[in-house]
Chains A and B, each alone.
Chain A
């Protein structure tokens, strides 16, 4: 009798330890990161234990360009990405339907100014975008930024033949404006804040895409968001759901907790001087988007398609996933 009890106890112990091990083993997820302020939700979720609370081990993999993130998602090397450019996502889905879906969307507009035209602080003659006629302009790099920089000016009544524009890496924007080689810069945060803080530049106008290209100052200009590959969502639906739950908490902190901004300096190349005040986009889970904001997203993607940046017309609703 005693030996039977002993066997039962051993079996029970083994079974319970197996269950515990299974419960403790975290699900691995590989997340591509483009190191910019829009990657902040990843660092919030990691440092505040939101991933761990969902039993997830999310490995952040920094990649230098958005096409490399798309490549990782297509190949299956990445399951998800913290911040992928919306036009990049639209393009790959137009070329290869059902590659990825956005589960969170970052909105920028006049209230959440991420992009701006900046002119030298000493220049007092340029007062509005219309005054950029005949000027030498530098733009944030890449066809997407160039499309927006030109699109904003066109909507403001400045024709492309009336100015010269050249892409420049973000790292040379401050020097380019300071040295007088350019009369204006279409640039992004945190460079805008740094130019202003250092007395080099004056923000001519921000929140341009919403106001000029989408026609409403409070429109949701969707330039980036969090994505998951469709393969990942289909093969590991429970893990994807838990990831989204952790992400929603991180977005809430990013929007409402000023202390989260400390992570900008720690992980996202933002100087401590501007981190507390640098404007950030507004993070939304897709479930929280209003119909008008989805229409804004569609509007921007349609304009990019007409410009030739996105290969063919795409319904953005097919790119959105609600959790």
Chain B
């Protein structure tokens, strides 16, 4: 049993270790010029130097702050909106084109539009990320509501529950698993868009700005170190959602 627990704990590390080994092997054989692909050791040293003597922690925290702000805005607006849209198929269908249209448009392509509306400050980076993540959350929440089991809603109505009570006590809970799927995708998407915005729309800090600057001066170990930090951050955010989902949305799929 003890061995089984250890095996379970170690399972997620197998892929990561295999990836690092493959990276190390390619670098060791010098299949790619070391200037273009530094070894994992060189990148690990750049991570260490970045955290200990550099600004990597500061940039990481700034990117986390922007990501969480974008995600928070997206959740605050799009979960209630998704509930409203999902509760009326007719309303959802009337807006389906707009939602799917923007969902299929790369949010980064809309940078110029957001820059025109919000200017070049902090708010643009957060707003673009919130917009992209919000559509994912909206879409999933609405579908969660539309696909809520009708028998449970009907049972609540038969027992005399008011429409609001049915919405809050049954439909909302029924839709939560799907809403969480949207939120998990949304938080990852927020991170990606924030990093792209930091790279391309005037940032003096954040992981994205660090990646592009390292790339411009050909400091590849630092570039990969920052990419690695961004990847770990994304994995961490995803993991937090999985834990929350397992803990609180235990009825999903049952």
Interface residues of A (CB under 8 A from B): 65-67, 70-71, 74-75, 88, 91-92, 95-96, 138, 141-144, 166-169, 171-172, 175-176, 179, 181-182, 309-311
Contact = CB atoms under 8 A, between A and B. Distances in A.
B119 A181 contact: yes
B119 A169 contact: no
12 contacts: A70-B218, A75-B32, A92-B218, A142-B216, A144-B216, A167-B202, A168-B120, A168-B201, A168-B202, A169-B201, A172-B201, A181-B120
Interface in B103-154: 112, 115-116, 119-121
A199 B183 CA distance: 47
A172 B202 contact: yes
Contacts of A310: 217
B121 A181 contact: yes
Nearest to B116: A175
A66 B216 contact: yes
How many of chain B's residues touch chain A, expressed as a range? 20 to 34
A138 B201 CA distance: 11
B35 A95 contact: yes
Given A96-B33, A311-B217, 4 more contacts: A65-B216, A172-B120, A172-B201, A175-B115
A115 to B, nearest CB: 17
Interface string B213-249: 1011110000000000000000000000000000000
Given A75-B36, A92-B35, A181-B119, A169 B218 contact: no
A309 B217 contact: yes
Nearest to A87: B217
Contact of A95 (B200, B213, B218): B218
Interface string B94-106: 0000000000000
A143 B36 contact: no
Interface string B172-204: 000000000000000000000000000011111
Nearest to B32: A75
Nearest to B209: A167
Given A143-B217, A309-B217, A74 B36 contact: yes
A267 B112 CA distance: 23
A88 B201 CA distance: 22
Contacts of B33: 74-75, 96
Q: Which 3 A-B pairs have the closest CB atoms?
A: A168-B202, A96-B35, A67-B215
Contacts of B32: 75
A167 B36 contact: no
Nearest to B200: A169
B115 A172 contact: yes
Contacts of A141: 200, 202
Given A74-B35, A74-B36, A169 B216 contact: no
A67 B220 CA distance: 11
Contacts of A309: 217
B158 to A, nearest CB: 59
A71 B37 CA distance: 10
A63 to B, nearest CB: 13
Q: Which of B112, B115, B217 has the most C-beta atoms of chain A within 10 angstroms of its own C-beta?
A: B217
Nearest to B219: A311
Contacts of B212: 142
A174 to B, nearest CB: 11
Contacts of B204: 166-167
Contacts of B112: 171-172
A300 to B, nearest CB: 15
A29 B158 CA distance: 78
B120 A143 contact: no
Nearest to A179: B119
Nearest to B121: A181
Contacts of B35: 74, 92, 95-96
